[in-house]
Each structure stands twice: as C-alpha cells, then as structure tokens.
Amino acid sequence: MLRVVAPGALCSVQDLGRPGYQRFGVPVSGAMDAVACIIANRLVGNPPGAACLEITLGGTALEVVSPCVIAVTGGDLGATLNGRPLPTWASVFVRPGQRITFEGRRMGGRAYLALAGGVDVPLVLGSRSTYLPGRFGGLDGRPLQMDDLIRSTTPAGDPLRLAGRLWPSPVDYRPLIRVLPLPTSIGSSERLVSGLTAQPWRVGATSNRIGLRLEGARLPVEQPSDLASFGVFPGVIQLPPDGQPILLMADAQPTGGYPVIAVAIQADLHRAGQLLPGDEVCFSLVTQEEAIAAWRALRMQLDSPIADDEGIALAAAAQG
C-alpha cells in the first residue's frame, strides 16, 4: 500500500480502458501509453489489464505504507527511492517508510507505476480507469490527492519472488507517428496527408488526454457546412477549420464532426501518449500491410520472456 505525499501535476488510476461503451457516449479512456502499462503489470506478475498509476510530468511523491513490489515504466520522470535512483523497467521490493519520488521530466511525459496485485479501486463499466471529464472510475473519478491511500489486492505467493524482474528490450519512443490515409470529403486526401507528413508539428498548450492539438503550417481545408457527426476513436486525426490537426487520444469522444484525414497506426499510439505541450512530432505514411506488421512486432515484444536481475533480487531479499 502507498500513501500520496504529493500528487504532482496529474496522477490518476488507469488500466487498458473500457471498450464497448462508445455507443452509449462513454469514451474508451485508459492509459495514454498502454505499452508501458502492460509491461509494468507483467513485471509485477499482474494481468496486462490490471490498474496502475499514470503519473504525468513529475512532482509526485508516494510513501510506502506496507511492503510491496512495484515496477515503474514509461517516460523517465526522475524516479527515486529514498533519494537514490529507482530502477525502472524492473520490479523492485519496497518497504514501509521508504519514499518514491518522481523529481521531474527527463524523457517522455508519463510514467506508470504498477503494484503487485494491481491497484484496487471499484470497477465502473468493466474498468478501473479514471475518466476525468465524466468524474467516474479510478479513485472517486478524480486525480489523486494528498493522503490518498493506494491499495492493492494481495498477490499470490511470496511477493519477494516478483522482485528483480527486468524488461529485456527497450521500447521505441521516437516522436514519429506512422499513419494511414482515409477518404475525406474536404479535398484530396493525398494532398492533405502530404501536408501532414511534410513538416514537424508542435504539440499545443491546450492538448490533454482527449487529444493532441498540433501547431504548424496550416493545412488547406474548406469546412463543409453539412458534414454529419460520425464515430471516431483514439488515433484518428481530425482537421478543424483552422487547418491545425488534432490527434485523438485515450479520452477521445466517441463521435465527432470534424473531417478525418488520417489515422495513427495502433502500434504507435504509445509514442503519442508520451508527448506533452511543446514537444515536436512527425508523421509518416505507411501501407496497411506495414501497419499490420508493426502491430504484430509490437505484440511479439509485449510477449517477450522477462529477464531476471540478480542485483535487484538480492537487494529485495536483504530488505525483506
């Protein structure tokens, strides 16, 4: 169990979301970087969809209340344990009185902390994810606050056996998102996608978990007056009348009225999930076959055998 000493910029409970409820107006939500969430859970022996903490930007501090095994993955937010660097992409045994601190952003924008057993909060529509605009899920539908207690279910067996597990391969976080073109009613999709891929884009200040608003040279578009709303999902790239694209993310609304010019391939959404305002991102066009191959390669990576780190395991045994 952990206690929140400082919540930082934004810390919430997330899992892999609640697909299947979009027809009722409920977004999928879930981790912005699902890859990091899955790996963190695997390292501590949880199912891939178990709930963990999504920590944005840094400034978060947590006190260990009872012995547990944790894993931190995703962006490098300067994680420390009692002031010393905390091994990341590895499972670590922590004991009461120790403090886990995320001192500040070094690479990426979001870190994921998994507890052996999974974060224990109520299921809402089949998920423990926090949907902040709707104020449901997670811990009372809100970001974590000072003195919140983060409880986990009890993992099976000796928790020490889970310490010292190391993720074997680095995750690709290049700020390059591969896209597939989509037919559009606002002009040549080829021309619009060429404009999208021809320049780097900066993530705008109003970006959030719903979508990344991109700033760059305006894409030419004439907004049709009779375009009906239609279904959208995370990864869709909309083009509003100002010609500045929006890449929809985890909390994206189920329907939208802006034209869609392309869709980010699912294998690259974890890269987008690490972007914050001010970051640059580029897009490249791929074929459907290349998108499928990238997804298969990512799934193979997520199924990789987990390695053991003797140093971390011995440290866990000494602390236990």
Domain boundaries, the chain: 2-168+305-319, 176-301
The sign of the torsion formed by the CA atoms of 131, 253, 286, 240 equals negative
- The three-point CA angle 176-177-182 to 5° equals 150
Cα separations in angstroms, 23 against 28, 75, 234, 254: 11, 33, 15, 7
Residue 315 confidence class, pLDDT cut points 50, 70, 90: low
Cα separations in angstroms, 101 against 8, 120, 280, 317: 10, 21, 27, 22
pTM, full prediction = 0.93
Residue 320 confidence class, pLDDT cut points 50, 70, 90: very low
User: CATH number of the domain at 176-301, out of 3.40.630.10, 3.40.50.1240, 1.10.3720.10, 2.40.100.10?
Assistant: 2.40.100.10
Neighbouring C-alpha atoms within 13 Å toward the C-beta of 26: 18
pLDDT at 160 over 80: no
What average pLDDT does the chain have? 92
pLDDT at 22 over 60: yes
Residue 257 confidence class, pLDDT cut points 50, 70, 90: confident
| Poorest-pLDDT segment among 7-11, 96-100, 159-163, 311-315 | 311-315
